Amino acid sequence: VMIAESFRNIGEPVKARNHYERALAAKSGQLEYYYGFAALLWEENNFQEMAKLLKRIFRLNENDQVARYYLALTLPHLGEPKKRTITLLQESIKNFGPDPLLMNALGQEYLQAELPDLAENWFTRTLTVMENHGQALKNLITVYTLLNKTKEAKKTFSRYLKHYSADQDIRSQFIQLLYHDQDYKALAEEILILLPLKPRDRKLKRMLAKSYSKTARYSEAVVLYRSLLADEPGSLHLIRALVYCMQHAGQQETALVFLEKAVKEQDNHVSLLLPLGVMYFKQNKLEKAAEIFRRVIALSPQEWKGFRNLSVVFKKRGENDFSEKYLKKSEELRTAQLKP
């Protein structure tokens, strides 16, 4: 048994199992020989073999407390009815006290029974006893997600990653939550931790670039958007995002030259023409702006923004009749498009 324990402690479960089985074959009546084997099977999530081992223990001592402890933990994994497993776990907690494995298991049973409020209570109690209980923390994240408790979920993600920083899957889930919650400052911090481990992940880079843009880190966003565009030069979204960040980084002329070139390369795409016309307008190049918006209208007669923007140009030039005409047309188109 000592040899088996040694192999178990150094992470050699196959060798440990062989020695446990030899020990049990030699002295099948020694209960303490079964306990280490039970712990090994639990660590390996080998619940079918655990059930067989527990039956052997109960044949030797039907009131064995160690076996009852492991039975409460094992039955939930064998498809037993929830009513039985929950009752058994509750009784075990009364008998063995606030054991983190038992309390977490009870929380999991309530979670699977679609009782997240009760599950939250038991996971929280588990963490009171063992604050870095990884499974309880992950389970609590699931509960808060189900209950739409975003604030609590974010705190629990952070708490988990404080203890288990190498868990890329959980950090990826945290990043998705932060992105959907539009918490861009925290999002950038988490992506910067994960990105060195996934340097080719374009989705992460896109989210990081957006985070920089949303937190006024425009120069950093420009660098990142340029890198993304190098691999995806035809992306209209990336082109528009880069131009926006260039402008806010004080690179207006560079942005204008870049966008003029992009418009030619992308065959006068309306989504690029509109910001180009606005840039001309802001620089008081009214003739160029009017020309661009007329082009938008010709290419996309249902695009109400083209009419509205042209109306603004006419108004600034003092041509109020034309301004009112195009403004009315833009409102008609917009109203029609808003109807279900």
Residues of the chain with pLDDT under 70: 1-4, 8, 10, 20, 26-29
Spatial separation of the C-alpha atoms in residues 190 and 159, rounded to whole Å: 13
| End-to-end CA gap in the chain | 74
User: How many other C-beta atoms lie within 10 A of the C-beta of residue 175?
Assistant: 25
Q: Which long-range contacts (CB under 8 A, 24 or more apart) does 79-87 make?
A: 82/109, 82/112, 82/113, 85/109, 86/110, 86/113
Spatial separation of the C-alpha atoms in residues 313 and 240, rounded to whole Å: 22
Close Cβ partners of 163 (under 8 Å, ≥ 6 residues apart): 132, 134, 137
Q: Give the pLDDT score at 96.
A: 94
User: How many other C-beta atoms lie within 10 A of the C-beta of residue 293?
Assistant: 29
In this structure, are residues 191 and 175 in contact, taking their beta carbons and an 8 Å threshold? Answer: yes
Q: Give the pLDDT score at 339.
A: 81
Instruction: Retrieve residue 280's tokens.
Output: 């001309």
SS3 81: coil
Spatial separation of the C-alpha atoms in residues 225 and 230, rounded to whole Å: 9
Q: Give the pLDDT score at 26.
A: 66
State the DSSP code for 246.
Answer: H
Spatial separation of the C-alpha atoms in residues 124 and 88, rounded to whole Å: 20
Q: What are 19-45's pLDDT values in tens digits?
A: 767 777 766 667 877 888 888 888 888
Close Cβ partners of 293 (under 8 Å, ≥ 6 residues apart): 273, 274, 277, 306, 307, 309, 310, 313
Close Cβ partners of 251 (under 8 Å, ≥ 6 residues apart): 222
Q: Give the pLDDT score at 31.
A: 80
Q: Give the pLDDT score at 10.
A: 65
State the DSSP code for 41.
Answer: H
Spatial separation of the C-alpha atoms in residues 313 and 336, rounded to whole Å: 23
> What type of residue sits at position 32?
E
Q: Give the pLDDT score at 203.
A: 97
